[in-house]
Structure 1
Amino acid sequence: MTDARYAKLESLLRVVLRMEARRDGITLADIQVIAGIERRAAERMRDALLRALPQLEEGDPGPPKRWVLTGPALSRALAPTLEELAARHRAEALLRREGDRSAADRVSALADRLQAALSPQARTRLAPDIEALLEADGVALRPGPREALSEPLLAALRQAILAGVWIECDYLNAGSWRLSRNIELGPVALLMGSGRQYLLAYSEYVDDLRLFRLANLHRVEPLDQPFMPPEGFILSDWLSESFGVWREEPMRVEWRFLPEAAAEARLWQFHPSQSLTDEPDGSLTVRFTAGGIEEMCDHLFRWGDRVQIIAPEALCDAWRLRVAAAARAGGD
């Protein structure tokens, strides 16, 4: 089996080298002869090369059809594919939508380097395909509210996290709306995503990790003092105890989605620890362990009256208060 795989690889390399050597390219019949394969196998090999080498171009028109590969084979093989370029554009669009323009600009610069490996003809050909893929998944056009974040502030935070140093900052407290000045924090991670954006940092004042809203940071200066996260700290484990990013004591959660919502709910992963149970009446029960009552309420609002909160009671109480507040805001 191993020898057969090597033989296929050798055949593929011979075809690529022949494409590079022949200025007028090669035909499907040429691929059959070079690789010693039947026409259907030659078509599959050609299709594989077209996927792997987006700069592979059709030669002069007229039967038989020919394919031409210009430039060194190795450098061309490293050129990005359409799917890779589209994924890069998608990442940039998501970062800009979340307000992280500094990271988006870096991803954009990376794209320029990747696309430099393509021939001018390939760049021209791929541009409309990339736009079509982005429009198809709605990234470039998707609306939605987001917080406005300071680019210099994000850059300073990234610098401090990468350098492993403390920061000094001014922070606007959400409760009192007073600006606390010259706070020293040990930055651990930026928690970016939909909704509010946070800095996870160690505070000597409380001797623990805390979340700080990025929009409330008014000044950030990296210090010369080295900082290390608490011993044994693993970010993924820390986040797994929460429904979103907000930290609370984990609790046993149980929701029951009514039959008309069960199929849709099954498509969601509400939490990595979740378990699903199909009920006799067609409803779906979801159970998991996590904290974050306010974020759970935020999410449950999208389901309206199609979900029932079974446990915990603290979530039921918070939900009733949220619904009553929404009714008052609506004039009911």
Structure 2
Amino acid sequence: MPRNDQVTRQWHLLRRLEAAKRGLTLDELLAELPDDLPKHARTIRRDLAALEAANFPLVTERVDGKVRWRLMEGFRNIPALGLSPTEVMAVAFSRHLLAPLEGTELKAALDSAMQKASASIPPPAMEFVRRLEQSFSVGLGPHKRYRDHRVTIDLLTKAITRGRTVQMRYFSASRQATTRREVDPYRLRYIDGGLYLIGYCHWRKDVRMFAVERIRSCTLTDHPYQMPLDGDVEAYIEDALIVMRGKRIEVELLFDKATAAWVRDRIWHPSQQLTQLKDGRLRMALTVADTRELLGWILSFGNGVRVVKPESLKAAVREEAQAIAEGV
């Protein structure tokens, strides 16, 4: 039996027992396990014994002639936090998602909270977390590191919380120049391995997105601001494929059979509409900003994709591919 099955099954058992105040019979525990996990009474009994050995206080009692398993009263929730043991362990496991923010106050606060929460869980139970980490891992992919930007992130967080404008020197990658900006900071947003500030730029007279690592200096002012009543940060970025904004265009792509096999299983953009063709190819329609991000994304599929429309995008992809081939 794969070790992953054992850990996953025990995790599901704990989740079911946490939710059942009256406990569950062996048949009920078996019925509530996912269909893709082995379901045998003897195996479940071994799992329950393993959880007891990990200091999870399981109690058995006979009700109406049937043995029921439940967690001891008081253990189901950690009073100080209102979190169940598996919820605490899930937080401990997911802390890896904030690895790029290592060195910042945000990550330090999460680590501190996790240490306090973990103290409420018996050591053998925390060993269960380590076993989970051997079964599931978090792959962050390409990402930026923000250890050297701790002061900037902390200051921006304070500015957003207090509703105060910031003054900053910002390096624009597109213009290769550093300019002074006065910005009303609306939100910090982590996207595709990078941390960005979304806010109203008084210089540009518009809402803009700023890469945190390109903020050369930042100062908190005493000038209060209010987000417009019709302000919607999510709407501001909805057209971007990742972070770049631009003119909205209607795009139609055609993926060959081999490429379609893994394209259709992902949400690349909220607006995407997929149509599976009889010959195995996949048609994708989406409304997205016309940017170099879009161009690079399409090229990443190589000859597995064809641009159906618009003609301007088709021409841009052709010119870019030719420039790459010719080493221009």
Shorter-chain TM-score range: 0.7 to 0.9
> Judging changes above 3 Å, is the alpha-carbon distance between structure 1 residues 27 and 273 closer, same or farther for their aligned structure 2 residues?
closer
CA distance in 2, matches of 1:88, 1:73: 15
2:111 pairs with 1:112: no
Contact 1:86 1:134 in 2 (8 A): no
- Residue pairs, 1:64-79, within 5 angstroms: 75=79, 78=82
Aligned to 2:195: 197
> Judging changes above 3 Å, is the alpha-carbon distance between structure 1 residues 308 and 111 closer, same or farther for their aligned structure 2 residues?
same
- Residue pairs, 1:79-158, within 5 angstroms: 80-82=84-86, 84-97=87-100, 101-118=104-121, 122=122, 124-139=123-138, 144-148=142-146, 150-158=149-157
Aligned to 2:249: 251
CA distance in 1, matches of 2:185, 2:113: 26
CA drift at 1:210 = 1.1
Aligned to 1:61: none
1:271 aligned partner, one-letter code: H
Contact 1:93 1:104 in 2 (8 A): no
Contact 2:78 2:84 in 1 (8 A): no
2:242 pairs with 1:238: no
Contact 1:262 1:282 in 2 (8 A): yes
Contact 1:95 1:101 in 2 (8 A): no
Aligned to 1:59: none
3-state SS of paired residue (1:286)? strand
CA distance in 1, matches of 2:153, 2:255: 40
CA drift at 1:94 = 1.7
CA drift at 1:309 = 1.6
With normalisation by structure 2, the TM-score equals 0.73
Aligned to 2:12: none
> Judging changes above 3 Å, is the alpha-carbon distance between structure 1 residues 323 and 128 closer, same or farther for their aligned structure 2 residues?
farther
3-state SS of paired residue (1:298)? helix
CA drift at 1:75 = 3.3
Q: What do the CA deviations read for 1:66-106 (whole angstroms, capped 9, x no partner)?
A: xxx78898739945423x23432344212123667432222
| Runs of 4+ with >4 A deviation | 8-12, 69-74, 76-79
Aligned to 1:3: none
> Judging changes above 3 Å, is the alpha-carbon distance between structure 1 residues 278 and 209 closer, same or farther for their aligned structure 2 residues?
same
Aligned to 1:215: 213
> Judging changes above 3 Å, is the alpha-carbon distance between structure 1 residues 280 and 10 closer, same or farther for their aligned structure 2 residues?
closer
User: Is there any run of 5+ residues in structure 1 with no aligned partner, and where?
Assistant: 1-7, 13-24, 50-55, 57-68
3-state SS of paired residue (2:301)? helix
> Judging changes above 3 Å, is the alpha-carbon distance between structure 1 residues 294 and 37 closer, same or farther for their aligned structure 2 residues?
farther
2:99 aligned partner, one-letter code: R
3-state SS of paired residue (1:228)? coil
CA drift at 1:208 = 0.9
CA drift at 1:219 = 1.0
> Judging changes above 3 Å, is the alpha-carbon distance between structure 1 residues 190 and 203 closer, same or farther for their aligned structure 2 residues?
same
CA drift at 1:311 = 1.9
2:318 pairs with 1:320: yes
- Residue pairs, 1:52-63, within 5 angstroms: none
> Judging changes above 3 Å, is the alpha-carbon distance between structure 1 residues 176 and 253 closer, same or farther for their aligned structure 2 residues?
closer
- Higher strand residue share: 2
CA distance in 1, matches of 2:76, 2:130: 28
1:129 aligned partner, one-letter code: F
Aligned to 1:163: 162
CA distance in 1, matches of 2:194, 2:251: 23
Contact 1:88 1:107 in 2 (8 A): no
1:94 aligned partner, one-letter code: L
1:327 aligned partner, one-letter code: A
> Judging changes above 3 Å, is the alpha-carbon distance between structure 1 residues 26 and 222 closer, same or farther for their aligned structure 2 residues?
closer
**How many residue pairs were aligned?**
276
CA distance in 1, matches of 2:128, 2:81: 20
1:209 aligned partner, one-letter code: V
Contact 1:98 1:193 in 2 (8 A): no
CA drift at 1:227 = 1.1
2:95 aligned partner, one-letter code: E
Contact 1:85 1:130 in 2 (8 A): no
Q: What do the CA deviations read for 1:146-191 (whole angstroms, capped 9, x no partner)?
A: 254501100111110111110011112224433223x211111122
CA drift at 1:326 = 3.5
3-state SS of paired residue (1:150)? helix
Contact 1:294 1:318 in 2 (8 A): no
User: Is there any run of 5+ residues in structure 2 with no aligned partner, and where?
Assistant: 1-18, 24-56
CA distance in 1, matches of 2:97, 2:75: 34
2:263 pairs with 1:265: yes
1:162 aligned partner, one-letter code: T
> Judging changes above 3 Å, is the alpha-carbon distance between structure 1 residues 291 and 154 closer, same or farther for their aligned structure 2 residues?
same
> Judging changes above 3 Å, is the alpha-carbon distance between structure 1 residues 214 and 73 closer, same or farther for their aligned structure 2 residues?
closer
> Judging changes above 3 Å, is the alpha-carbon distance between structure 1 residues 266 and 232 closer, same or farther for their aligned structure 2 residues?
same
With normalisation by structure 1, the TM-score equals 0.72
- Higher helix residue share: 1
